[in-house]
Chain A
Amino acid sequence: MKVLRPARLLAVVAGLAALLVAAIALGLAWGPSDLSPADALRVLLDADATGPAADIVRRIRLPRVAAGALVGAALSVAGVVFQALLRNPLADPFVLGISGGAALGGVLVLALGAALGLGASAVPPAAFAGALLTTAALFGASGLRGRLAATTLLLTGVVFNAFASAAIVFLASLGGMAEGTSIFLWLIGNLAAARTEILAPLALLFALGLACALPLARTLNLVALGDETAEQLGVSVETAKRILLLATALMVGAAVSVSGLIGFVGLIVPHALRLVLGPDHRLLVPASALAGAAFLVVCDAAARSVLPGRELPVGAITALVGGPLFLVLMRRERARGWLT
């Protein structure tokens, strides 16, 4: 019988880490001025390197690649965690409405920021504040004192996202053309605003989320079977759910604050990995972090390179690749009898 052994976990993590390094090399190399991936890595690792190549790699591309890796990892881990917690393979990082709250906060600044004297740098903090408020409201609405029921959480999230979209449309129609364009780009999701300053808080919140999800990965296996089963096996289900929901919400809030709503990453990365690696979360959680990071870094490199002289929002790439890919993954899952 096939069961997870620590050696397999290490092998998978090592393999995906190598994939991430390759993706990072690509991400540093691709762009308007082409470098080879090897050169890009050499310039990055050589502390004495100077010249335009070193400037491009270190000042322009590195912060962006790092942000892409962190956002991709955060969204994928959040996807895998929410899918298990809600016992729903369709859940994604945005399903609980946290993204809607973050988007509302960000769009508020984009639409009205100029009038209030706030620049683009105020968008991430405002979006994160929106995510925090939504998380608080979500916990309040679905019963912090009672049991956190999957259905209540899902319904609250759907309503919250719908409300946030309506408010965003309202805000967008208040602003002018320029605001409209920036709101549109932000909602599709892009990494163009990734700056060095936002990396530390993003990394911190991602690390916090991962530090909660990794030790609770086996608990996720049990919660995926249902609260009753997990509970009777000695798991404190409600405590685990609260920790995971809160840590994941913060992680999603941080990711959305930096990049807007990059879709599909948190849905397809866990599905693809489950097809290859199986459903054990001890493997899926670290694998999602690494593969999600690599996937978004490559998508963003493509976003910077496919159209000469201009760049696409990476959210458009993930949706263009992710939509059809998800259908393919779903067909394979059906063929294996995993879906009915």
Chain B
Amino acid sequence: MSARLALEGVAARLGDRAVLAGVDLAVAPGEIVGLVGRNGAGKTTLLRIAAGTLAPDAGRVTLDGSEIASFDRRARARIVALVPQDTQVPFPFSVAELVLMGRTPHLGFLGFEDAHDLDVARAAMQRMGIEALADRAAPTLSGGERQLAVVARALAQEPRLLLLDEPTAFLDLRHRLEVLTVLRERAADGASALVVSHDLGLAARFCDRLVLLGDGRVLAEGPPRDVLSPDTLRAAFGIEAEIVTAPDGTPLVVPRSVTTR
């Protein structure tokens, strides 16, 4: 079976800075991969390229075996959903309207949502526990509420691949667990996810594999307990840390100090 998402030798420049310098990465159907690395390592750029909203300067990106550039935009948007980092909404759209926008690639010619679209959006809001917010205007939401709405929008898009850029950054622990649990549910149904996160503990617990990005390259990848080692953390983040093992075998990073050189 071909990978849901595959990047081969992907390189990207922003201005005159090389952000990605030859990245290989694959996400299998039903797999959740965590993308970790320090600020500016190229994680967001990688997600944009995987979403097809940014063309790489070199390399190949395929979705279920076909070049991503060969997809019509709407067809691509039915397969891949991106949850971006910046979710500010300057206009008073309601949460229901925001979530319904996830139906865009499924809508017919006139662009009006039908009963099925409403059902899908309602189910997505229920799953994220925000149905009570349905009629609230976006500017009145807290950062975390808005983030849940954006994840619900991505669910309403019914994608086979979810790309999430720090989806849990503004969330409390319960909601972080909620988002990752939803991803596991989708993975059990065969969907895949690539999640950028700075929460290494949750990433280790919920991801099948981690990809550690540094200076535009893959520094390490594999099961969390292989990727999270004192050496890789020093190389990737410039920190000294101990790795302890939780009773279920999940590796936990306990940071100690900044590496001095």
Count contacts on A: residues with CB < 8 A to the other chain.
35
Q: Tally of A-B residue pairs with Cβ under 8 A?
A: 105
Q: How many Å lie between the Cα of A88 and that of B137 in the bound state?
A: 17
Residues of A within 8 Å of B88, CB to CB, are 226
Quick check: is B94 within 8 A (CB to CB) of the other chain?
yes
Residue on B with the closest CB to A234? B77
**B104 x A222 contact (CB < 8 A):** yes
Interface string of B75-111 (1 = CB under 8 A from A): 1111011101010111111101110111011010011
Residues of A within 8 Å of B48, CB to CB, are 228
Residue on B with the closest CB to A215? B111
A232-B51, A337-B137 as given contacts; A279 in contact with B93, CB under 8 Å: yes
Residues of B within 8 Å of A279, CB to CB, are 91-93, 97
Closest beta carbon of chain B to A213's beta carbon, Å: 13
22 pairs from A and B in contact (CB 8 Å cutoff): A2-B96, A6-B112, A89-B91, A218-B111, A221-B101, A224-B93, A225-B101, A226-B84, A226-B86, A228-B86, A229-B101, A232-B77, A233-B77, A233-B104, A234-B75, A234-B77, A278-B92, A278-B94, A282-B111, A338-B92, A338-B137, A340-B139
Quick check: is B73 within 8 A (CB to CB) of the other chain?
yes
Closest beta carbon of chain B to A52's beta carbon, Å: 49
Quick check: is B140 within 8 A (CB to CB) of the other chain?
yes
Main secondary structure of the interface of A (DSSP, over half): loop
**A233 x B91 contact (CB < 8 A):** no
Q: Most chain-B CB neighbours within 10 Å: which of A2, A279, A280?
A: A279
Residues of A within 8 Å of B111, CB to CB, are 218, 282
Interface size class of B (residues with CB under 8 A): 35 or more
Q: How many Å lie between the Cα of A88 and that of B91 in the bound state?
A: 9
**A235 x B104 contact (CB < 8 A):** yes
**A3 x B100 contact (CB < 8 A):** yes
Closest beta carbon of chain B to A5's beta carbon, Å: 7
Quick check: is B234 within 8 A (CB to CB) of the other chain?
no
Q: Most chain-B CB neighbours within 10 Å: which of A84, A221, A229, A338?
A: A229
